[in-house]
């Protein structure tokens, strides 16, 4: 049992492996947060709750001791004197926006009810608390899912209109938690195309710190996670709280340090350009958030997210499956290929161990560049004589699987689809639509448009032997308007777009369960837990430069397990960064994820081809660590000349340390790293040093990093139980 209700003291205890989350029913009927942190006894925690109101705060007319400004709220509302950010905001038809929620009932369920139309964690004991507005016919249901072997709690909310007339939700977040302390740094992701997952860390300041996306996807400019690191916590020490939305659309996340020195963290659906009309009896389901507490620093927090997502988020059919080592045609050929060129590429990796060929953009319609063809999912027979079958058969004859690229949500104005159905594209009458990469976005809020997409993509998947699909999304959504929504529902567009995307995923991914789907969005612009529910692997960034990848993959690993990070070895000078790193380094860094190649193997040297074979073999030796192991981040290129990460198997019998030195510096400091997570008493053979050492020695005396000569040199150390 992970959930316990103390009826006498009216306290709910949600207990993870090492964590307690507790809240109670306040005398005024609202829910009051009491504690979130390291596991504590099931004591009457009301003693710790906030002090009563001070002179000038607003008090409840029924009970002069109640002031919402002082209550650590579990479901904070607007208009009754809290004055901090509310979790939700309602408005009735008269314009009344005040809300006050009181406890009605609760249920503890052994089986988790899944939210309709949204990705969420699977399984887990779930508490549902129902609250009712004191005045409006409005119900709020709070869902908490807890796993007694993990330190992760999933939360979500349902907002329900029980009245006769419509009401409006001007905000409908997924959660809010008040932490009664202020000694936090806030860590949030920022970035751009080819520079995803950079991390900001700043001491929290009074007022609101906020991240969010208005891009229609979670975007490369940020990512839906926010971390609070208490009292100087670092990678391996100190208390850390992490919050991650399971969502793939526009969103908002906030942390507010109040005048009382408490921090409220909240977030969910977009906060801007959002109003949802709730008709009589309708329910708005929020996305789910996953909250993790760790007293073992950021790395401890990451372990919890990684384990939770591997056990309860990623498709169980694929989560433990060995990933295909693939060669992708994009950077090797871009749009310039025909059958012969593709066959030369396939021949180029034959016998190296690469086990899948992925035909990227350019195989369909009039797609000879990025100006035409998107939306026409019919093979371009001028380029591929004999259709896809010729390439697929050739791939299979070479002993490889075959993968194909799609961008299902998009259309070029120069396409048969657009000529036949110009109204399928998002457009707002009176405004000429903006173009991004010469393309428009299809209106996924429309069921008929989604039906068209499902059928067009399904036809190709049905008629060809396809083992893998790369699902791309290369422009943001700006003109948030649908010709099929009434005026008072236009501000539902962003959320409806995300729901439309999830509907496509449900139908296409579940419709073809034998196909392995990889997500992509100009690199990592839709790399999130929402996508991970459907796609076990996501292209992390278009920047394949090994140095940039040490930063990008490091940031992504804060929350997301390495098996999801798609990482390719590409040609140099790197096509994005125009930067050269050694071939070996590119592979060592690309091995810290689901690896593959993105170059023209027909033009590489024999020496490099031999290296590919060695690299693939080396990857197979450690891929179980990528799929299942624990990651330890030991050194970052964000603040040093060195990158170092270690993977350790769950049974601690096997580990791998990967390191890179950015620039050789004469007379540089001796750099020792201290591996973690080994068994102190186990003796490990370190292959590269040819010595046997106890885990305790390796972890405490450390390993001195040594590299080959040159810039961006890398090295790996294999450790295995003797």
> Catalytic amino acids?
472, 542
Q: Which is nearer to ligand DGJ, 405 or 717 (CB)?
A: 405
Q: Is 523 in the site for ligand DGJ (CB under 6 A)?
A: yes
Q: Which is nearer to ligand DGJ, 403 or 536 (CB)?
A: 403
In the complex, the smallest distance separating the C-beta of residue 464 from ligand DGJ, rounded to whole angstroms, is 19
Q: How many Å apart are CA 314 and CA 517, to the nearest integer?
A: 12
Q: Which stretch binds ligand DGJ (CB under 6 A): 124-132, 179-187, 264-272, 516-524?
A: 516-524
Output the residue with the shortest Cβ distance to ligand DGJ: 361
Q: Give the CB-side neighbour count of residue 667, counting CA atoms within 13 A.
A: 0
In the complex, the smallest distance separating the C-beta of residue 360 from ligand DGJ, rounded to whole angstroms, is 5
Q: Which stretch binds ligand DGJ (CB under 6 A): 388-396, 519-527, 622-630, 673-681?
A: 519-527
Would you give the DSSP letter of residue 538? E
As separate numbers, helices (DSSP H) first and strands (DSSP E) second, the chain gives: 12, 38
Q: Is 409 in the site for ligand DGJ (CB under 6 A)?
A: no
Q: Is 376 in the site for ligand DGJ (CB under 6 A)?
A: no
First to last CA, the chain: 39
Residues 378-407 that bind ligand DGJ (CB under 6 A): 405
Cβ-in-10-Å burial (0-12, 13-18, 19+) of 475 comes to: buried
Q: Give the CB-side neighbour count of residue 271, counting CA atoms within 13 A.
A: 16
In the complex, the smallest distance separating the C-beta of residue 331 from ligand DGJ, rounded to whole angstroms, is 8
Virtual torsion, Cα 300, 75, 264, 306, nearest 10 deg: 20
Nearest alpha carbon to residue 43 among 7, 1, 9, 72: 9
Q: How many Å apart are CA 190 and CA 212, to the nearest integer?
A: 10
Q: Which is nearer to ligand DGJ, 20 or 474 (CB)?
A: 474
In the complex, the smallest distance separating the C-beta of residue 244 from ligand DGJ, rounded to whole angstroms, is 23
Place of tokens 């994005």: 576
Using alpha carbons only, give the angle 582, 587, 589 rounded to the nearest 5 degrees: 95
In the complex, the smallest distance separating the C-beta of residue 520 from ligand DGJ, rounded to whole angstroms, is 5
Q: Please confirm whether the linkage preceding 573 is cis (ω < 30° from 0).
A: yes
Q: Which is nearer to ligand DGJ, 520 or 599 (CB)?
A: 520
Q: How many Å apart are CA 243 and CA 529, to the nearest integer?
A: 11
Using alpha carbons only, give the angle 200, 202, 205 rounded to the nearest 5 degrees: 135
In the complex, the smallest distance separating the C-beta of residue 283 from ligand DGJ, rounded to whole angstroms, is 36
In the complex, the smallest distance separating the C-beta of residue 466 from ligand DGJ, rounded to whole angstroms, is 16
In the complex, the smallest distance separating the C-beta of residue 124 from ligand DGJ, rounded to whole angstroms, is 34
Q: Is 522 in the site for ligand DGJ (CB under 6 A)?
A: yes
Cβ-in-10-Å burial (0-12, 13-18, 19+) of 513 comes to: exposed
Q: Is 360 in the site for ligand DGJ (CB under 6 A)?
A: yes
Question: Are the CB atoms for 569 and 615 separated by under 8 Å?
Answer: yes
Looking at the DSSP assignment, which residues form a beta bridge with residue 131?
103, 140
Range list of H helices, 464-582: 493-511, 529-534, 546-556
Q: Which stretch binds ligand DGJ (CB under 6 A): 268-276, 518-526, 550-558, 569-577?
A: 518-526
Residues 28-87 that bind ligand DGJ (CB under 6 A): none
Residue from 178, 185, 288, 542 binding ligand DGJ (CB under 6 A) = 542
Number of residues located near ligand DGJ, criterion CB under 6 A = 11
Residue from 215, 305, 330, 471 binding ligand DGJ (CB under 6 A) = 330
Residues 222-241 that bind ligand DGJ (CB under 6 A): none
**Residues 6+ positions from 492 with CB-CB distance below 8 Å:** 274, 275, 276, 277, 445, 485
Q: Which stretch binds ligand DGJ (CB under 6 A): 208-216, 279-287, 520-528, 600-608?
A: 520-528
Question: x-or-dash pattern for ligand DGJ, window 414-453, by CB under 6 A?
Answer: ----------------------------------------
Q: Which stretch binds ligand DGJ (CB under 6 A): 134-142, 479-487, 515-523, 707-715?
A: 515-523
Residue 342: Cβ within 10 Å count: 23
Q: Is 472 in the site for ligand DGJ (CB under 6 A)?
A: yes
Residue 294: Cβ within 10 Å count: 24
Residue from 87, 520, 592, 678 binding ligand DGJ (CB under 6 A) = 520
Q: Which is nearer to ligand DGJ, 254 or 526 (CB)?
A: 526
Q: Which is nearer to ligand DGJ, 523 or 601 (CB)?
A: 523
Residue from 539, 554, 619, 642 binding ligand DGJ (CB under 6 A) = 539
Q: How many Å apart are CA 315 and CA 336, to the nearest integer?
A: 35
Nearest alpha carbon to residue 358 among 336, 332, 320: 332
Q: Is 600 in the site for ligand DGJ (CB under 6 A)?
A: no
Nearest alpha carbon to residue 672 among 625, 635, 713, 631: 635
In the complex, the smallest distance separating the C-beta of residue 596 from ligand DGJ, rounded to whole angstroms, is 11
Q: Which is nearer to ligand DGJ, 174 or 595 (CB)?
A: 595
Question: Are the CB atoms for 180 and 72 separated by under 8 Å?
Answer: yes
Would you give the DSSP letter of residue 489? G
Q: How many Å apart are CA 263 and CA 255, to the nearest integer?
A: 6
Alpha-carbon distances of 373 from 363, 367, 380, 673, rounded to whole Å: 10, 5, 10, 51
Q: Is 545 in the site for ligand DGJ (CB under 6 A)?
A: no
Q: How many Å apart are CA 251 and CA 215, to the nearest integer?
A: 9
Q: Which is nearer to ligand DGJ, 443 or 542 (CB)?
A: 542
Residue from 474, 570, 635, 649 binding ligand DGJ (CB under 6 A) = 474
Nearest alpha carbon to residue 494 among 268, 252, 274: 274
In the complex, the smallest distance separating the C-beta of residue 334 from ligand DGJ, rounded to whole angstroms, is 8
Q: How many Å apart are CA 502 and CA 587, to the nearest integer?
A: 34
Residue from 92, 151, 239, 361 binding ligand DGJ (CB under 6 A) = 361
Q: Which stretch binds ligand DGJ (CB under 6 A): 125-133, 152-160, 380-388, 517-525?
A: 517-525
In the complex, the smallest distance separating the C-beta of residue 391 from ligand DGJ, rounded to whole angstroms, is 17
User: Applying CB under 6 A, which residues contact ligand DGJ?
Assistant: 330, 360-361, 405, 472, 474, 520, 522-523, 539, 542
């Amino acid at each position: 049992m992970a959930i316990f209700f103390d009826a006498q003291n009216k306290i709910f205890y949600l207990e993870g492996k090492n964590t307690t989350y507790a809240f109670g029913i306040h005398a005024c009927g609202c829910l009051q947060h009491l504690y979130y942190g390291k596991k504590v006894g099931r004591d009457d925690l009301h003693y710790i709750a906030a002090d009563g109101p001070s002179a000038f705060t607003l008090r409840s007319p029924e009970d002069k001791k109640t002031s919402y400004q002082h209550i650590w709220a579990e479901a904070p509302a607007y208009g009754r004197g809290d004055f901090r950010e509310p979790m939700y905001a309602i408005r009735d038809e008269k314009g009344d926006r005040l809300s006050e929620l009181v406890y009605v009932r609760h249920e503890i369920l052994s089986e988790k009810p899944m939210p309709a139309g949204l990705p969420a964690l699977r399984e887990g004991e779930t508490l549902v608390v129902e609250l009712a507005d004191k005045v409006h016919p409005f119900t709020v249901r709070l869902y908490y899912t807890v796993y007694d072997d993990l330190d992760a709690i999933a939360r979500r909310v349902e907002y329900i209109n029980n009245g006769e007339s419509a009401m409006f939700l001007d905000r409908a977040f997924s959660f809010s938690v008040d932490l009664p302390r202020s000694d936090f740094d806030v860590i949030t992701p920022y970035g751009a195309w080819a520079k995803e997952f950079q991390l900001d860390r700043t001491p929290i300041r009074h007022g609101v710190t906020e991240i969010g996306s208005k891009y229609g996807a979670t975007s490369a400019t940020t990512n839906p996670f926010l971390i609070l690191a208490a009292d100087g916590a670092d990678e391996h020490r100190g208390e850390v709280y992490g919050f991650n939305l399971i969502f793939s659309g526009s969103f908002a996340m906030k942390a507010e340090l109040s005048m009382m020195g408490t921090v409220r963290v909240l977030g969910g659906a977009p906060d801007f350009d959002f109003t949802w009309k709730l008709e009589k009896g309708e329910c708005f389901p929020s996305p789910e958030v996953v909250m993790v507490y760790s007293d073992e620093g950021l790395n401890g927090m990451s372990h919890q997210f990684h384990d939770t997502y591997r056990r309860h988020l990623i498709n169980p059919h694929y989560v433990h499956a060995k990933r295909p080592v693939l060669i992708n045609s994009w950077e090797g050929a871009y749009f310039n290929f025909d059958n012969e060129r593709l066959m030369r590429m396939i021949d180029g990796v034959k016998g190296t161990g690469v086990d899948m060929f992925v035909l990227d953009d350019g195989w369909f319609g009039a797609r000879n560049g990025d100006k035409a063809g998107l939306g026409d999912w019919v093979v371009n027979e001028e380029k591929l004589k004999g259709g896809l079958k010729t390439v697929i058969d050739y791939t299979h004859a070479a002993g490889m699987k075959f993968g194909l690229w799609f961008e299902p949500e998009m259309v070029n104005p120069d396409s048969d689809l657009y000529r036949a159905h110009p109204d399928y594209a998002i457009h707002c009458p009176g405004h000429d639509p903006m173009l991004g990469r010469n393309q428009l976005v299809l209106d996924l809020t429309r069921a008929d448009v989604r039906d068209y997409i499902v059928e067009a993509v399904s036809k190709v998947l049905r008629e060809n032997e396809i083992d893998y699909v790369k699902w791309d999304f290369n422009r943001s959504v700006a003109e948030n308007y649908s010709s099929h929504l009434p005026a008072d529902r236009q501000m539902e567009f962003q959320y409806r777009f995300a729901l439309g995307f999830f509907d496509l995923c449900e139908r296409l991914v579940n419709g073809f369960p034998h196909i392995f789907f990889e997500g992509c969005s100009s690199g990592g612009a839709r790399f999130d837990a929402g996508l991970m529910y459907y796609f076990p692997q996501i292209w992390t960034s278009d920047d394949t430069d090994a140095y940039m990848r040490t930063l990008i993959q490091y940031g992504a690993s804060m929350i997301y397990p390495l098996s999801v990070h798609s990482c390719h070895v590409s040609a140099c000078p790197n096509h994005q960064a125009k930067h050269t790193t050694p071939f070996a380094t590119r592979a060592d860094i690309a091995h810290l994820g689901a690896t593959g190649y993105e170059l023209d193997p027909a033009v590489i040297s024999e020496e490099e081809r031999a290296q590919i074979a060695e690299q693939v073999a080396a990857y197979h030796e450690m891929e179980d660590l990528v799929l299942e192991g624990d990651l330890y981040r030991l050194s970052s290129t964000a603040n040093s000349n060195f990158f170092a990460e270690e993977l350790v198997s769950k049974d601690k019998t096997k580990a791998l340390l990967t390191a890179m030195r950015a620039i050789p510096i004469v007379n540089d400091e001796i750099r020792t790293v201290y591996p973690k997570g080994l068994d102190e008493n186990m003796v490990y053979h370190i292959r590269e040093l040819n010595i046997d050492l106890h885990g305790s020695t390796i972890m405490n005396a450390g390993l001195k990093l040594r590299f080959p000569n040159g810039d961006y040199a890398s090295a790996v150390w294999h450790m295995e139980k003797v």
